[in-house]
Every structure is written in C-alpha cells, then in structure tokens.
Amino acid sequence: MTPISDHRARKNVWILVAAQAVLGSQITMIFVIGGLAGQMLAPNPCLATLPISLIVFGSMTTAPWLSRLMQSQGRVAGFFTGSVGGLLGSLIGAYALSIGDFWILLIGSYMTGMYMSAQGFFRFAATDTASDAFRPKAISYVMAGGLISALIGPQLTKLTNDLFAVPFMGTYLAAAGINVLGMLLFLGLDIPKPPKATSTSAKGRSTWEMLKTPQIAVAVICAMVAYALMNLVMTSTPLAVVACGFTPGNAADVVSAHVIAMFAPSFFTGHLIARFGVEKIMAIGLAILAAAGVVALSGVELFNFFGALILLGIGWNFGFIGATTLLAASHAPEERGRIQGANDFIVFGCVTMASLASGGLMNCAGGAPEVGWAAVNIAMVPFLVLAGGALVWMVAKGRSAES
C-alpha cells in the first residue's frame, strides 16, 4: 500500500477545492436555469423540471462505470472524462435552445450529469492520500470549494442569461467554457492508482457484503436522504419563487444563498465531526432539514424562501459530509471502486426520483403555486423518518456490540 502523506494529501485537496469552485459553478448555473428553460420548451408544464432530473439521472447511471474507470486508470482519467461530458452537455443544451427542441435539451442534460457524477468523486479523492486524522477535514475542505462556485455560478447566470436573443443560451455556452478551463486543474493531482488485487481474497468484500455492513448501509441511506431531499426542494424553488410573484433574479439569489449554505459550513464540519463524532453531526443535519421544511410551510414571502433554502443547505452539508466520512472509513482501498460507485448509483438514483417528483408536485398537485410548494415540503417527512431511524439503529447496534 502506498504510504499516506498528509503533505501530498493537502496539495491534492487544494487542487480539488479549485476544481470544485471553478467546474462546480456550472452545476449551480444549470440548476438555476434548467427548470426555467424546461418550462419554456416543455410540451407539458409537469415536465418543466425534467432537464434537471436528466442531469441527476445521468449522474446516477454514469457513477458505477466512472468509479470502475478510476479504480483501473486513476482519478485523473475519470475527472477528465467527466469534464468532457460537461462540455458536450453544455454545447448540446445551447444548441437545443437555439432550435427550441426540448428533447435535445434532455440529451444535453444527461451529458452534464456525467460531469456531476465525476464531481461527486472529488470528496472521495480527497481521502485517497489522507491519514485517518486528516480524512474528515479533507472531505470538508473539498466540499467548501462549493462556496466559491455558489458565488460564481449565479452571478455568471445573471450576466449570461440575456447575451443572446434566445433566453438562457448564453449561460449554457458559458458553462462550456468553464469545462475547458477547469479540466486543466486535474493535471496537478498526485493520486496513485489503487493497488491491483493479486488474489481473490485481496479484492475485498463484494458490493452486497459491504452494503450489509451497518456503517455502510447507514452511510448510504443518510447520504441518499440528505441529497434527495435537498434536490427535491431546490429543484422546485426557482419555479415556486417566480410563480409566487418574484423575479428570476430573486430566484437566482435564493439559490445562491442556498448553495452558499450548502458549502460554507464545510470550513468547520470536518472539525465538528472529529470532535463530536460523525453520528451526532449526521443527526443534527437531519434535524436541520426538518426545520427547513417547517420554515417553507410557514409562508411564501421572499424571506421564507431564503430561510428555508439556507437551512436546507446547512442540513445537507452536515448529513452528506457526515455520511461520506462514515463511508470512507468503512472500506479498504481495493474495495473503493465498487462501494463508491454503488453508493453514488443509489444516492443519485433517489435524487433522480426526487427531482422527477419535484416538478410533478410543484406544477401538478392542483390549485395555486402555494399548494404545490407545500406538497414538495410535506414529501420530506417519511424520508427524514427513514434516515433518523437508520441512524438510531446503527448507534444502538454499536452500543449493543460494545456491551
């Protein structure tokens, strides 16, 4: 096994922070305009958020083979592949808008999902050369790079929305340029390929065996719930904000505040995990997600949207970084290609369903926009119960084993 060096790990972390900041801004941009572009082109308003759903579906379906590619060819090869997908997705999206074709827009969205999948592995790559003590901080720092993308993305969206006669086309072209510039950062990564197994036993556990491990099962469930609920609410937010009488600029500001809240806590989430334990931070994250739903259901003024989405971002941060830390500590290096790919397949599969449900709940629940927005937030309840119950079960099982 390659000796762990935190000096090398810190260098890799800063490169991944920069990649998260630069390349990650395209996801913020496309999530802000995806539902609005879909509403403009879709043959049925219930399909308005389908472009965002296809991004997440693309992330889900490409995660397993991207993970295997990184296992055999290294992280850099996987990250370059993801960026090429993002580049093609943005160009196809711009073309679809230029000819007014909703279905081609969906193809572009799927390709963008390939980049989103690769970005999801930044957090795992940060741990590849890190010591046990530095691991939660490495994950946290890389996620903090999203704070910069949260500032860049919405502002670029405002600047590029009206560059062309066709709305949103300039934003997709700007996202294409971001992919070209951002992929050059990966040339500086120093992450060795995982050691090749020399025998059957050296390959580690099967995916199913790992998923039956309590720590891994709970990590997957909590990551799935945190990400799916965040996406469920965030996908409908631009539609809800505009439908309740505010402007697309207001919607971009709300999403910007949300994404800042998603990543700003990352500067100290890793320290909190190291001090208080991963289980407590995950539990706090689930509680904050529940609070976000309460604020959203209390009204549809602009401050309600800001408050709910800020809490949604903080809850996602604690829940998702906690789940990632728990997963990263629960498998061997030779197992990472299988379990990380399976984790993201499951997580983004549920996020895809949440994204699909979001548009249907928001636009087709019946009645005024307030009714649809309420339906979106009420849908959070059973999933929070699932994740909370799984976390309690794991902690109780651990205490039982100790006694």
Q: Which domains does the chain have, with CATH numbers?
A: 6-191+205-402 (1.20.1250.20)
pLDDT (0 to 100) of residue 253: 87
Segment 156-212, tens digit of pLDDT:
888 888 888 898 999 999 999 999 999 999 999 988 887 765 555 567 888 888 988
Whole-number Å distance between alpha carbons of 6 and 224? 29
Whole-number Å distance between alpha carbons of 44 and 203? 49
What DSSP letter does each residue of 226-250 carry, written as one string?
HHHHHHHHHHHHHHHHHHTT--HHH
Considering only CA atoms, which of 102, 145, 155, 205 is closest in space to residue 14?
145
pLDDT (0 to 100) of residue 197: 59
> Alpha carbon of 93 to those of 87, 176, 318: distances in Å?
10, 10, 33
* Contacts with 191 (C-beta within 8 Å, 6 or more apart), sequence order: 12, 74, 75, 76, 125, 128, 129
pLDDT (0 to 100) of residue 100: 93
Could you tell me if 261 and 313 are in contact, meaning their C-beta atoms sit under 8 angstroms apart? yes
pLDDT (0 to 100) of residue 1: 41
Considering only CA atoms, which of 79, 88, 87, 111 is closest in space to residue 15?
79
DSSP state of 372: H
As a dihedral over the C-alpha atoms of residue 253, residue 116, residue 346, residue 349, rounded to 10 degrees, the angle is: 70
pTM for this predicted structure:
0.75
The two tokens of residue 383 are: 């999933």
Residue 201 in 3-state DSSP?
helix
Q: The dihedral of CA 181, 25, 329, 77: what is its sign?
A: negative
pLDDT (0 to 100) of residue 114: 95
- Report the chain's terminal Cα–Cα distance, integer Å: 34
Question: How many DSSP H helices and E strands does the chain contain?
Answer: 17, 0
- CA of residue 23 relative to chain centroid, distance: 13
pLDDT (0 to 100) of residue 3: 47
Dihedral pair phi/psi, residue 387, rounded to 5°: -65, -45
The two tokens of residue 31 are: 């999530």
What DSSP letter does each residue of 140-200 carry, written as one string?
HHHHHHHHHHHHHHHHHHHHHTTSSSSTTHHHHHHHHHHHHHHGGGGGG---PPPPPPSST
Whole-number Å distance between alpha carbons of 242 and 254? 11
* Contacts with 369 (C-beta within 8 Å, 6 or more apart), sequence order: 239, 240, 243, 244, 300, 362
* Contacts with 73 (C-beta within 8 Å, 6 or more apart), sequence order: 193
| R_g of the chain computed on alpha carbons | 20
Considering only CA atoms, which of 178, 255, 228 is closest in space to residue 20?
178
Residues of the chain where predicted confidence (pLDDT) is lower than 50:
1-3
CA atoms within 13 A on the CB side of 195: 12
Residue whose entry in the numeric block shows the structure tokens 């922070």: 17
> Alpha carbon of 98 to those of 31, 94, 155, 173, 373: distances in Å?
19, 6, 22, 11, 31
